[in-house]
Structure 1
C-alpha cells in the first residue's frame, strides 16, 4: 500500500519528478545573472559616448564576448523557465497550454540564438 490517496492512484497522478530540477535551474541562472549583468552594465556605462569603432573593439575582446554570450544564454534560459511556470500555472486549456509552451521555447531559442550570433559576429570580425 502506497502513500497515495485512492483517487490519485486511479488517475495516475503523481510526482513528475521535474519540479526540483526546474527550481534549481531557475535559482542557479538567477544567481549567475547577477555578476554577468553587473559586468555588462559596467561595459555599457563605460562605453557611453564612445565611437562605434571603440565599442566594436571592446565587445570583440574575448572576455567581453564570453561575458555577453554567458549573459545571453543564462538570460534566455531563465526567461524560458519563468514563462513556462506562468503558462503552466495560469493556462488551464490543454491545447492552449501546449501551444504556448511550444511558442515560448521557440521564441526564447530564436531570439537567444540571434543575440548570440550578433556577439559572435562582433567577436570574429565578420
Structure 2
C-alpha cells in the first residue's frame, strides 16, 4: 500500500520540523512548507491526502488556506494546528472546512491517534 502523503504548513520552523519528523517516523510521506502560498503551489504538483496547517500565519492564515484547498480538492482532509484552542471550537472550524484539530504543544501520542484516525477515513474513500 502506498504511503499517505501529508503536507505540513507552519511558519514556525521548529514546530514544522518536529511534526515532520514524527509523522515520517510513523511511516507517512511528509513534506513541510513555511507558508500558505508555498502549500498551494506545492499542491499543484503533488496529490496530498492530508494537510495539517497552522491557523495563525502571516499573509494568509490557516482558515483561508483551508477554504482554498477545499475549493480545489474537496476530498483532501485538512486539519487545523493551533495552540489557541479556546479561540477555535470544532463547530467554528467545520464552517471553514476543517476535518479536525491538532493542539499545540504537540503530544506524540495525541498526534499519532489523530493522524491514524484521519488515515483510516482517507483509506475508506
| Rg larger in structure | 1
Greater relative contact order structure (CA < 8 Å, 6+ sep): 1
Kindly indicate which of the two structures has a greater share of residues assigned to strand.
2
TM-score, normalized by the shorter chain, greater than 0.5: no
**What is the TM-score normalised by the length of structure 1?**
0.30
Kindly indicate which of the two structures has a greater share of residues assigned to helix.
1
